Amino acid sequence: MSELDAFREDTRQWLEANCPESMRTVGRREDMVAPGRNQKFPSDDARIWFERMRDKGWTCPEFPSEYGGGGLDAAKAKVLRQEMQRLKCRAPLSDLGISMLGPALLEFGSEAQKAEHIPRIVRGEIRWCQGYSEPGAGSDLASVQCRAEDKGDHYLVNGTKIWTSFATESDWIFCLVRTDPDAPKRDGISFLLIDMETPGISIAPIQLISGDSEFCQVFFEDVKVPKKNMVYEANKGWTVAKGLLKHERKMISELSQDFIGGTLTLRQAADEYLGYDKNGKLKEPGLRAAITRHEMNMRAIELTAYRAHLEGLAGEPDSRIPLIMKYVSTTEFQVKDELMTELLGYRGLGWDDAYFSEEELKSSRSLLFNKSLTIAGGTNEVQLNIIAKRALDLPES
C-alpha cells in the first residue's frame, strides 16, 4: 500500500470515529462555526467536532505543524478533503484567517508575526475581517485613502473601510493603508494588522434588503497601531494585497454549492418538477440543452481544477488557471441557480413560508446570495480585464 493510500485509510477511519453524526449533513449558513474571542457554537456536536479537528491541526490542514497546523502536503490535504466530502463532514471552522490571511502571512509575514497569529487562527481564537474596500476604492483598489502616518514607534490610522463583512463580530482586521501619499498609488500602500479593540475604531452596520447586515463600514480616528503589525515592508503592501487576493478568489471559486444551495441537483429537480415526454426526454428541449451545457461546463471546471492540482504537484503550475477559475466557477454557480429557479417555477420563489420545502427555500436564497459572488473579491468585469491581459495576452484597447 502506498503512503498516500495508507493515509487515506487512516483518515477514513478517524473521520468515521470522530465526526458526530449531526455534522455529516449539509449545514445552513447559520450552522457555520466562526472563531473569535466570544466564540459561540450552534450545537454541542459542532463544538466537539471543532475541538477534535483543532487538536489534529485539521482546522488548517496545510498550515505547518510548527504553528499548530496539520502539516499536510497538497496531496494529503486533497485526500482529507475527499474523505470529508465522502462523509459529508461540515467544515469544523470557517474564517478569513484560514482561507486568506493565514496563507498570506505564511508567505509574507515575519517569523514573529507567524508565531503570534498562525496558532491563534488554527485554534479558532481570533476572527478576522478584511479592510480593503473604501467608498472610493473597490475595483480600483489601489486608490485606497485610509492613511497610516509613521509616528516613530507606531502608525496613526485615520480613514474608513466599507463593505467589511462581519466587522461587528471580528476581533482583528487586516487593512490596506496609505503610508506614502506622494508615491505612485501602488507604491504608497502598506498592509497592517489591527486589533478591533484599539481605541478610535467604530463600526456602523449596513442594513441589507434581506434584513441581514453582515456588511459594515469601519471608521478609524487616530488609531494607534504598533509598528510590529505591519506585514512585509512599508509601501510594499500591494504585493501582499495581490498575494492575498489570489487566495480569496480561489476560496470563492471553491465555495461548496451544497453549503449555499442545498443538495437538490438539477436532474433531481427536473425529475420532480418538470417530467418527461413520451420519448423519455425532458419536456422542455430548451431547458434540456441548457442543463446539459451547464453540466458539461461544471465537469470542465472540475477537470481543469484537477489538472491545475497535478501540474502544481509536478512543480509546473500554469499561472493562467487561477486567473480564470473565479470567473468561470461563479458564473456557472449563477447559471445553476437560474436553471433551478426555472425548473422549480413558483416553488423556487419562496422565502420563509412553511408551504415551501427546505430545499425550495435554499434554492431561492442561493439565487440571491450567489449574485454577490461575481462582485466579492473583484467583479467579473474586472476579472475579464485581468484574464484578457495576463492569461490571453490581449492588447489593451
Ligand X SMILES: Cc1cc2nc3c(=O)[nH]c(=O)nc-3n(C[C@H](O)[C@H](O)[C@H](O)COP(=O)(O)OP(=O)(O)OC[C@H]3O[C@@H](n4cnc5c(N)ncnc54)[C@H](O)[C@@H]3O)c2cc1C
CB of 207 to ligand X, least distance (A): 15
By beta-carbon proximity to ligand X, the closer residue of 98 and 266 is 98
**Residue 194: phi, psi to the nearest 5?**
-130, 130
DSSP, collapsed to helix, strand or coil, labels residue 146 as: coil
- Distance separating alpha carbons of residues 51 and 54, to the nearest angstrom: 5
Q: Which is nearer to ligand X, 113 or 133 (CB)?
A: 133
Between 164 and 253, CB nearer to ligand X? 164
CB of 163 to ligand X, least distance (A): 4
**Residues with Cβ within 8 Å of residue 191, at least 6 apart in sequence:** 108, 174, 175, 176, 177, 230, 231, 232, 237, 240, 241
Coil vs helix vs strand at 211: coil
Which of 198, 379 has the CB closer to ligand X? 379
Q: How far is CA 129 from CA 67, 103, 195, 216, 307, in A?
A: 21, 15, 11, 10, 32
From the list 189, 196, 325, 347, the residue with the least C-alpha distance to 250 is 325
Nearest position to ligand X, beta carbon? 138
Specify the residue, 136 or 312, whose C-beta has the smaller distance to ligand X: 136
Could you tell me the smallest distance in angstroms from the CB atom of residue 209 to ligand X? 13
What is the three-class DSSP state of 216?
strand
In the bound complex, what is the minimum distance in angstroms from residue 147's beta carbon to ligand X? 16
Pair 356, 347: CB distance under 8 Å: yes
The residue (of 255 and 376) whose beta carbon lies closer to ligand X is 376
Q: How far is the CB of 378 from ligand X (least distance, A)?
A: 6
Identify the helix (H) or strand (E) that includes residue 70.
none
Shortest gap between Cβ of 259 and ligand X (angstroms)? 15
Q: CB of residue 363 vs ligand X: minimum separation in angstroms? A: 19
**102 vs 378, which CB is nearer to ligand X?**
378
d(CA 100, CA 116): 16
C-alpha cell at 45: 456536536
Cell of 356: 415551501
As a whole number of angstroms, the distance between CA 144 and CA 140 comes to 8
Q: Which is nearer to ligand X, 96 or 270 (CB)?
A: 96
**What is d(CA 364, CA 318) in angstroms, rounded to the nearest whole number?**
36
Residue 136 Cβ, how far from ligand X at the closest point, in Å?
Answer: 8
Give the footprint of ligand X on this chain (CB under 6 A).
129-133, 138-139, 163-165, 372, 375-376, 378-379, 381-382, 385
Considering only CA atoms, which of 90, 96, 97 is closest in space to residue 120?
97
